[in-house]
Structure 1
Amino acid sequence: MKAPSVFAKLLHPDVLARFAVYGRLMRLDRPIGTLLLLWPTLWAVWIAADGRPDFTVLAAFAIGTFLMRSAGCVVNDWADRDIDRHVARTADRPAAQDLVSKKEVVKLVGVLCFLAALCLIPFNAKTWLLAVPALFLAFTYPYTKRFFPVPQLYLGLAFSFGIPMVFMATLGEIPKLAWWLFAANVFWTLAYDTIYAIADKADDAKLPIKTAALTLGRYDAEGAMLSYAVFDLLMMQVGLMIGAVWLYWLMLVVVVCRQWHFYIRIQTRDPKACFDTFVANNTIGLLWFIGILMHYAYI
């Protein structure tokens, strides 16, 4: 087949329309999830390399993060298609609107996972093995909403598994420091995804699902803040283990002030304010990344 013919088919309006649907399914129009997953991966890349990250590790895990987040979104939206139809914020998702078939979903997830697997080629076999539980957690998370009172905690495990993978790829082992960072990210995820659940609480209460916001009831905002507090304490432990300089601790103060501002906003339980606060957690990831960068630049 001639190249012009191939391009003509790819640029056909029907094909472009399908690609647009796949892009929405992968949440290309909503990069916040990728960023929230990317920041802790970057923390791990810099800490594992003692401030001098290898470009291969950096590029492979950055690309892999995007691909696996995309695959996770596809699986999540397909699993939740019957639920999303009844939630105002998610009713327009492609799977909820029956714009994709199961066959298309399977093929798309397969392609994304294959590309993500290619990112692991430069690394040792143990890093490959760690990809197995990471994949399991990512693909089973959507189903925990049916029975687990705090599915956000399970999501935290799924969103944190890139951390031990980075350490294994960089050092050939997973030191205790990696697990402290892993735990910190679990609680950060629990905090911001609880806030995300508060935004949907009114709709979720009518559905046969469980969320941290529903489980915590009137103390949902306080539960999110408690998770932030544990996250901060664990990041303090990480700082002590790397011998963090004062710039790292200064960033801790900035992060805590930011979190207090979040609490003031989510106390209203206003859906838009809570969703905007969820998105604003991107700044928490960025602030900690800057703190880690400044630490290694200073020493």
Structure 2
Amino acid sequence: MQNDTIAGRVADAVRGHWVDTRAPEWLRPYARLARWERPIGWWLLLWPCWWSAALAGIAGGRAGPDPWHLLLFMIGAIAMRGAGCTYNDLVDQDIDDKVARTRSRPLPSGQVTRGQAKFFLVLQLLVGLAVLLQFNGFAVLLGIASLAVVAVYPFMKRVTNWPQLFLGLAFSWGALMGWAAAFGRLDWPAVALYCGGILWTIGYDTIYAHQDKEDDALVGVRSTARLFGTWTKPALAALYGGATVLFALALFGVDAGPAAFAGVAVGLAHLVWQIVRLDIDDPDQCLKLFRSNTSYGWILFAGLVLDAMVQALL
């Protein structure tokens, strides 16, 4: 039987996905670089954008977020998440080669060369730039500023126990972008949403990082999963609790109604469920709970959109 590397597959990729079954052979290594078979990544990048657009809709007295902005943010999230994964794999090739779950990825396994990966990275960045240029000048500059955080993130696992904080700074940037795209400026409700997104991201990525904690310890990679250890559940309670308070504060800032707060309350119940169910020594369960944050995103977004619709009718 061929192993994953020989077969051109990736050990931690989703089995039976269209990347493996329908994509042309030449495209598959690039699709795996961008993690197209794992949409959870771009959903997690997209949610702060959509939340912010919906929050701006409530603040502006509209019946919902701008649909054009939602579409642009989706395209941008897919492109930039893929670019981020490609960049991360370029930076982490030496580490990925030492970890069982990642050594069959396209770069360490030799499915693509570093030059090919860099070219693919540029193509994805160009798509992201094309999307960004559809917004107002303030939003364009704000989007460009996010690249500084994105650039340093892959190196943080080598120097700090808090790489998840830097992931939060990058992945939650959309909480600023949605508001900036609508108003051409930033106001404190968007900043509160951003800070809440950072805490949420640290929480869910801590759960994700528990999958690799043993390999990470061997190769010297740091993470909040290793830092928190057996105190992970209390830490998650603090992180998710703080995120909920900040999200509620953002809603107060735009004079949101009951539907939006109901979304936050139901979302909190989902986060509590994650904490209760978590077994930090069960990698499969950690992955499932991490992926469940897509549901959390939908819950908050639905509450915001419903609230905007109700307020527009009153």
| CA RMSD, Structure 1 to Structure 2 (Å) | 1.7
1:154-181, Cα deviation, whole Å (9 max, x unpaired): 0000011122222222111111111011
1:193-245, Cα deviation, whole Å (9 max, x unpaired): 01111121122111121101111232123222221111111111112122222
Listed as ranges, the gaps of 5+ residues in structure 2 are: 1-22
Counterpart in 2 of 1:176? Answer: 188
Offset of residue 185 of structure 1:
0.5
Take 1:242 and 1:125, find their aligned partners in 2: how far apart are those partners?
24
Counterpart of 2:25 in structure 1: which amino acid? A
8 Å contact from structure 2 (residues 279, 285) kept in 1 = no
Counterpart in 2 of 1:243? Answer: 255
Counterpart of 1:34 in structure 2: which amino acid? W
8 Å contact from structure 1 (residues 146, 209) kept in 2 = yes
Counterpart in 1 of 2:95? Answer: 83
Take 1:266 and 1:177, find their aligned partners in 2: how far apart are those partners?
31
Q: Which structure carries more relative contact order (alpha carbon 8 Å, separation 6+)?
A: 2
Take 1:122 and 1:250, find their aligned partners in 2: how far apart are those partners?
33
Asked if 1:37 corresponds to 2:11, the answer is: no
Between 143-152 and 215-224, the greater mean CA deviation after superposition: 215-224
Listed as ranges, the gaps of 5+ residues in structure 1 are: 1-14
Offset of residue 268 of structure 1:
4.9
Offset of residue 149 of structure 1:
1.3
Counterpart in 1 of 2:229? Answer: 217
Identify which of 22, 27, 31 aligns with 2:30.
22
Tell me the number of residue pairs that the alignment of Structure 1 and Structure 2 aligns. 285
Distance change (3 Å), C-alpha of 1:86 and 1:220: farther
Asked if 1:147 corresponds to 2:151, the answer is: no
Identify which of 62, 71, 74 aligns with 2:74.
62
Counterpart in 2 of 1:231? Answer: 243
Identify which of 190, 199, 208 aligns with 2:202.
190
Counterpart of 2:131 in structure 1: which amino acid? C
Q: Could you say what secondary structure the match of 1:78 adopts?
A: helix
Counterpart in 1 of 2:264? Answer: 252
Identify which of 139, 146, 157 aligns with 2:169.
157
Counterpart in 2 of 1:8? Answer: none
Offset of residue 60 of structure 1:
1.7
Between 179-188 and 101-110, the greater mean CA deviation after superposition: 101-110
Offset of residue 33 of structure 1:
0.4
Between 201-210 and 262-271, the greater mean CA deviation after superposition: 262-271
Counterpart of 2:40 in structure 1: which amino acid? I
Take 1:24 and 1:217, find their aligned partners in 2: how far apart are those partners?
30
Offset of residue 265 of structure 1:
2.0
Counterpart of 1:75 in structure 2: which amino acid? Y
Counterpart of 2:55 in structure 1: which amino acid? I
Counterpart in 2 of 1:4? Answer: none
8 Å contact from structure 1 (residues 151, 211) kept in 2 = yes
1:64-102, Cα deviation, whole Å (9 max, x unpaired): 111101100101122122222333332322122122212
Distance change (3 Å), C-alpha of 1:48 and 1:248: closer
TM-score normalised according to structure 2 size: 0.86
Asked if 1:124 corresponds to 2:136, the answer is: yes
TM-score normalised according to structure 1 size: 0.90
Counterpart of 1:126 in structure 2: which amino acid? F
Take 1:164 and 1:92, find their aligned partners in 2: how far apart are those partners?
36
Offset of residue 132 of structure 1:
2.3
Take 1:289 and 1:226, find their aligned partners in 2: how far apart are those partners?
22
**Larger helix proportion of the pair:** 1
Counterpart in 1 of 2:6? Answer: none
Asked if 1:114 corresponds to 2:126, the answer is: yes
Counterpart of 1:175 in structure 2: which amino acid? D
Counterpart in 2 of 1:292? Answer: 304
Offset of residue 135 of structure 1:
1.6
Q: Could you say what secondary structure the match of 1:16 adopts?
A: coil
Take 2:265 and 2:71, find their aligned partners in 1: how far apart are those partners?
30
Take 2:154 and 2:208, find their aligned partners in 1: how far apart are those partners?
15
Counterpart of 1:94 in structure 2: which amino acid? P
Counterpart in 1 of 2:8? Answer: none
Counterpart in 2 of 1:274? Answer: 286
Take 1:118 and 1:252, find their aligned partners in 2: how far apart are those partners?
33
Identify which of 208, 217, 224 aligns with 1:205.
217
Offset of residue 112 of structure 1:
0.7
Aligned-pair identity (%):
32
Take 2:180 and 2:250, find their aligned partners in 1: how far apart are those partners?
18
